[in-house]
Structure 1
Amino acid sequence: MTETALKYYAHGKLLLTGEYLVLKGAKALALPLKLGQSMNVTSGKQQNRIKWEAFTPNSQWFSCEIQFPGFKIIESNDSKKAELLKKIFETIGKLNPEFPFERDFHIQTKLDFNPQWGLGSSSTLIANIASWTNVDAYQLNKLIFKGSGYDIACANADGPIFYRSREKPVPVNLSFPFEDHLFFIYSGTKKNTRHGIEHFLKTKGDISEGIRQIIEISENISRIKKLDEFQLVINEHEKIISGIIDEQSIQDKYFSDFNGVVKSLGAWGGDFFLAASSMNEAATKNYFKRKGLQTIFTWNELILND
């Protein structure tokens, strides 16, 4: 008979302000999501084994069996994911040498969203595993993915937060009267966040003024009550980041005829983006669907802001 399952849950994430510059100490406004990832852990009768099964909303997308000691991969249907999981467990073994890997564990995870969407399949995994193995999630995330940690902060948050590296996240009372005019659209492209981070960290030049401007925007945007003011601020944000990373904004590239403002969320070039428009919901969705983009969420459908 197996033991009662240990259950964990972590929220997905989106970064409204501060992409890239949060890695350099800028204050960012981060949004935990209503969608996330669950993890159930049971113990069996065997020893020195971790059996891993991962599910999306529609199917199983990864399975793996790892043997201890040495974290040897016995079998897997995806060698790249298995190697990453092995690396995570090896790192945990160093952070918490007392964790009983010699036991028999059966782990099942389930995402509430498509893992290609970039909403935090990795960060929710790290947060859940860290809770289970009693290690610091920020430290584990830094060692594995080298990210800023805002996504880890979102994983366990109850609502929007201000996030700054090496500081405790600060809850934000975010109340946009125009939230019915805010939409999150999947670009159709999965962005490799690690590559984006590595590329940005190699950027040379003084970005201190850009950091100052983004901090000011992050603080001001949380107090905005009018849609047109919100549009002006996120458009300015796009111009600042565009200048720093030397990339054309997503609106200039693809949506120059859109009646509203489009803003990248997180690493530019993929995953989700934000659209803010005075048009009604039907008209806004129809515009993007005509562009071939079918995955669209309203603010209320996606953002955890009770």
Structure 2
Amino acid sequence: MERTFYSNGKLLLTGEYVVLDGATALAFPTRYGQSLTVETGDEQGLHWSSLDPDGSQWFETFLSFDNGRLQPKGSDPVSQTLASILNAALELQPQFIAPHASIRVTTALDFRRDWGLGSSSTLIANIAAWAQIDPFLLLENSFGGSGYDIAAALSNSPFLYERFAAKPTYRPVHLPWEFKAQLFFVHLNQKQDSKAGIRRYEKASVAPQMLRKISDISNKLLLCYSLSDFEALLEAHETIISEIIQLPTVKASRFTDYPNTVKSLGAWGGDFILATGTENDQAYFRKKGYTTLIPFTEMIL
């Protein structure tokens, strides 16, 4: 019997890094995500295939049971990581894969893997749905992290997210932004290592008032009715995070002559940024070689 699970991708507008210490973050689920289909296989074990948006296969492996744990045939890092996630799920729900079962799993991304929209978080959320376990607990037992990306995988609207304990809290919010047509995302042509960014952040000293300031900005954005107020809040946010992690803002490092606001999203230095401006302003980024530009309303659920 074929079963298919689907989870949404993620983008973090506010609270990058400091969400780990309890700051309130504003995050978005994206219109892009990942599906996972489970069906009966041809041989005993678990045959796994992963597809890119164009339908081409980028990863394949075979896992078999050995002393109650799934073991991949190969030793490549992707196979080992997949096995560790599935084994973490089996520890939480031992019955979801029978040791003598023949299973074929196919995952399919809606977005390019270098976009950083959550190929790992959508995978974890889909595996958790398959195993009928708590996805936040599966994340904690495998990759770790703040968990906002898991909340995005499960959400269908923007949300405020807080992580104070093992069980995070998040709630859907309404954005009164009538200027959404003047917001767009730009891919920086490289994927950022979020774990490296977190390691850098862990060395920083973050005063409680910094966390409060970020939380305040996240909440004020829900009451933002003008583009100028929106830009002022994002620029204040960039300044605070820059001070905490001791890195220049993306505008200072790459786009000093851009006339409008540019905001990093998630780990600084890669993936997408959010920019404000008109369709004519987008030509600025194309001239610099950034050709993947997506309007806000086409990216965000």
- TM exceeding 0.5: yes
Aligned counterpart, 2:137: 139
Aligned counterpart, 1:11: 8
Aligned counterpart, 1:213: 213
Q: Which amino acid aligns with 1:23?
A: L
Measure, in 1, the Cα distance between the counterparts of 2:199 and 2:102: 37
* Residue 261 of structure 1 pairs with residue 266 of structure 2: no
Aligned counterpart, 1:232: 232
Render the CA deviation track for 1:3-23: whole Å, top value 9, x for unaligned: 2x1010000000011000000
Is the contact between residue 145 and residue 194 of structure 1 (CA under 8 Å) also seen in structure 2?
no
Render the CA deviation track for 1:196-231: whole Å, top value 9, x for unaligned: 22222232x242111000000000011101011111
Q: Which amino acid aligns with 2:141?
A: L
SS in 1 for 2:104: strand
Render the CA deviation track for 1:131-183: whole Å, top value 9, x for unaligned: 00122110111222221000000001010000011333111011310001101
Shift of 1:44: 2.9
Closer, same or farther in 2 for the Cα pair 1:195/1:206, shift >3 Å?
Answer: closer
Render the CA deviation track for 1:70-101: whole Å, top value 9, x for unaligned: 3221248xx11101001111211211223333
Q: Flag structure 1 segments of 5+ consecutive residues without an equivalent.
A: none
Closer, same or farther in 2 for the Cα pair 1:108/1:227, shift >3 Å?
Answer: same
Measure, in 1, the Cα distance between the counterparts of 2:173 and 2:246: 31
Aligned counterpart, 2:181: 180
Aligned counterpart, 1:119: 117
Measure, in 2, the Cα distance between the counterparts of 1:263 and 1:45: 49
| Aligned-residue RMSD, C-alpha | 1.3
Q: Flag structure 2 segments of 5+ consecutive residues without an equivalent.
A: none
Render the CA deviation track for 1:244-277: whole Å, top value 9, x for unaligned: 0000000001111101010000000111000012
Aligned counterpart, 1:90: 87
Measure, in 1, the Cα distance between the counterparts of 2:23 and 2:98: 38
Listed as ranges, the matches of 1:192-211 within 5 Å are 192-203=193-204, 205-211=205-211
* Residue 285 of structure 1 pairs with residue 282 of structure 2: yes
Aligned counterpart, 1:248: 248
Q: Which amino acid aligns with 1:176?
A: W
Q: Which amino acid aligns with 1:299?
A: F
SS in 1 for 2:247: coil
Equivalent residue in structure 2 for 1:33, among 19, 30, 33: 30
Measure, in 1, the Cα distance between the counterparts of 2:195 and 2:116: 12
Is the contact between residue 86 and residue 127 of structure 2 (CA under 8 Å) also seen in structure 1?
no
SS in 2 for 1:169: strand
Is the contact between residue 157 and residue 172 of structure 2 (CA under 8 Å) also seen in structure 1?
yes
Measure, in 2, the Cα distance between the counterparts of 1:138 and 1:198: 21
Q: Which amino acid aligns with 2:71?
A: K
Equivalent residue in structure 1 for 2:298, among 283, 301, 304: 301
Is the contact between residue 50 and residue 58 of structure 2 (CA under 8 Å) also seen in structure 1?
yes
Measure, in 2, the Cα distance between the counterparts of 1:101 and 1:241: 47
Equivalent residue in structure 2 for 1:104, among 102, 105, 111: 102
Is the contact between residue 146 and residue 194 of structure 1 (CA under 8 Å) also seen in structure 2?
no
Aligned counterpart, 1:62: 59
Is the contact between residue 52 and residue 63 of structure 1 (CA under 8 Å) also seen in structure 2?
yes
Closer, same or farther in 2 for the Cα pair 1:40/1:206, shift >3 Å?
Answer: closer
Q: Which amino acid aligns with 1:262?
A: V
SS in 1 for 2:47: strand
Render the CA deviation track for 1:274-303: whole Å, top value 9, x for unaligned: 0012xx21x122110011000000011100
Closer, same or farther in 2 for the Cα pair 1:101/1:175, shift >3 Å?
Answer: farther
Q: Which amino acid aligns with 1:293?
A: Y
Is the contact between residue 68 and residue 101 of structure 1 (CA under 8 Å) also seen in structure 2?
no
Aligned counterpart, 1:74: 73
Matched residues, number: 294
Shift of 1:45: 5.3
